[in-house]
Structure 1
């Protein structure tokens, strides 16, 4: 039993408060590590697609179907279980997601053809879909009190950090290490097992009565709910989600066909080139997020959309000229816009959520993100089989530029309206 003689009546002594703060901080970084690892594992196959294509005779359309299956199963997980952590608690949902992630890595490592590759991608998508709402909510709830913006910043930077590390790391292993289609996944199994231990030991962050200490253990019946956006914030949600759609349309294209485009423009057969292209996009995104971490949310989103438009223009110029240097510069500019736009829109969206529906609203954001990742990528893959990679890329980038322009106009109007409301309050 604790020694109560060292506390004042009703007020714990300072040494008792320090472990609670430490527990909160350690839990925050455990969840951040889970987010990075899940996103890292999702981008590893992107660096391997060219190799799979060569070994198994797959078309570009088939590759985008493999990629899209991941996004579709993420959506299924989000729609069925996106709000589950609001009922059951963050820890059990995160733990279940990590177990599924380990299973998917084993399937990837053992894949010798399209069948197991599809199965692995599907299980991986379910793992990410199950964990996404819990991760987003837990990061906001466990944010260190001394740095209140850190939760939204890690929520937005975590995917880009993971995607960049996954693309670059897998590219290096594929090009220079043995067992290129297995080693990356075996290393990830070990990493996921370590983080699973961390999740089991972390404190529950869901508010009491929702999924917290008295609520989660009492609710033995699990009834997944549909994603719901409160009526009062649907207008703002729709405007900000338009930015999410633009951002993740670019991400989906680069993660599925970006390595092929880079190898063609750079006239290279080095597998590291494809992974490095994904890493360049994600690395620039992360740098922009770190640079703009303290900038107001809507202003960050506007800056990001301007960067997206500039980057898309440069990539289109590179495709017209057949210029590899311009393509690399355009990818870096595009990445910085991607990172800033996602950070700004996610921070603005997270401010709309009340504690009882935080996991639900976070999952709703990612529903649109993964739809934007999957549907345009599949269309691009199918069109590539008909019109070729370059013509399809030009059409895709032009269409996304139109969405970015529309999102920019809507966000500028929202920012102006917000300033007006603030001045009259």
Structure 2
């Protein structure tokens, strides 16, 4: 709920000449925080030797600082009637945009499931296949993958939002296949390279989705539309992580890893097919 509301906050307060910034900030803000948290957690526990409880102290101090900054932020637009009501979560998409909502929701599931894979199985993967024990290397891997999402948006910035999403989903698919291959070959460089590719695709897809929403969805419908997309992303990416954890404890990391990666690839393919349908319908309507 927090990420959805903060994204709406940025969109509502945007200035016309900086339309791209809300999408960029919304897409990279959370990944940057996750990457920094993964690295910081590894340093606090493995390098400095402090108790894991100190991680929560650091996080809460930072949150307090964010709250102070938010309260001190200048008002850039006048208060509008009905603005608070527009932030109320309503699970409904515009009638004419059902297929677009389905396409972007499945794309969000595919993108965010990349992050959930590394967060849930990262330590087990590097320990089993690459003989790296402890939290630090796993934190570096998670930080690298999710930190590189900041590269994904700018990488596809010169193409249309839909094309950017298509290309990002293809990048995710290639990254997942290469990453699994690298682990099974016990090849650390291959694993790291394709993990980085997956991170770039993750960021590109998230930014592409938000750009598409801002370009295609009427302003008074953005709040409800984004609520659906974010809910799909959170729930959809949490589901394979939970199943993978169960599989890991019963049938081993190999089945859990391949199953989770296959889930990501499947949703990337489904989303691409739905986006192609939306594009075809838009072209048909434009010709008509």
TM-score by length of structure 2 reads: 0.89
The equivalent of 1:301 in structure 2 is 165
The equivalent of 1:361 in structure 2 is 225
The equivalent of 1:282 in structure 2 is 146
The equivalent of 1:273 in structure 2 is 137
How many residue pairs were aligned? 287
The equivalent of 1:138 in structure 2 is 9
The equivalent of 1:165 in structure 2 is 36
The equivalent of 1:381 in structure 2 is 245
Deviation at 1:311, TM superposition (A): 0.6
- Answer whether contact 1:138 1:205 (CA < 8 A) is retained: no
Summarize the Cα distance change of 1:399–1:199 in structure 2 as closer, same or farther, 3 Å threshold. Answer: closer
Query: Does residue 1:210 correspond to 2:82, yes or no?
Result: yes
Distance in 2 (alpha carbons) for counterparts of 1:291 and 1:298: 14
Unpaired segments ≥5 residues, structure 1: 1-128, 217-222
**Higher normalized contact order (CA 8 Å, seq sep 6+, divided by chain length):** 2
Deviation at 1:324, TM superposition (A): 2.0
Unpaired segments ≥5 residues, structure 2: none
Distance in 1 (alpha carbons) for counterparts of 2:269 and 2:253: 24
Distance in 2 (alpha carbons) for counterparts of 1:234 and 1:409: 14
RMSD: 2.5
Deviation at 1:394, TM superposition (A): 1.5
Deviation string for 1:87-108 (max 9, x for gaps)? xxxxxxxxxxxxxxxxxxxxxx
Matches for 1:39-188 after TM superposition, within 5 Å: 129=1, 131-188=2-59
The equivalent of 1:79 in structure 2 is none
Distance in 1 (alpha carbons) for counterparts of 2:202 and 2:89: 31
SS in 1 for 2:18: coil
Deviation string for 1:186-216 (max 9, x for gaps)? 122222112212222333868511136xx89
Summarize the Cα distance change of 1:382–1:200 in structure 2 as closer, same or farther, 3 Å threshold. Answer: same
Distance in 1 (alpha carbons) for counterparts of 2:89 and 2:31: 29
Match of 1:335 among 184, 195, 199: 199
The equivalent of 1:115 in structure 2 is none
- Answer whether contact 2:117 2:261 (CA < 8 A) is retained: no
Deviation at 1:316, TM superposition (A): 2.2
Query: Does residue 1:228 correspond to 2:99, yes or no?
Result: no
Distance in 1 (alpha carbons) for counterparts of 2:131 and 2:245: 21
TM-score by length of structure 1 reads: 0.62
Higher radius of gyration, 1 or 2: 1
Deviation at 1:227, TM superposition (A): 1.9
- Answer whether contact 2:44 2:52 (CA < 8 A) is retained: no
Deviation at 1:314, TM superposition (A): 0.4
Match of 1:310 among 174, 187, 196: 174
Summarize the Cα distance change of 1:175–1:354 in structure 2 as closer, same or farther, 3 Å threshold. Answer: same
SS in 2 for 1:208: coil
The equivalent of 1:291 in structure 2 is 155
- Answer whether contact 1:248 1:370 (CA < 8 A) is retained: yes
Distance in 2 (alpha carbons) for counterparts of 1:174 and 1:338: 28
Distance in 1 (alpha carbons) for counterparts of 2:278 and 2:89: 30
The equivalent of 1:198 in structure 2 is 69
Deviation string for 1:17-65 (max 9, x for gaps)? xxxxxxxxxxxxxxxxxxxxxxxxxxxxxxxxxxxxxxxxxxxxxxxxx
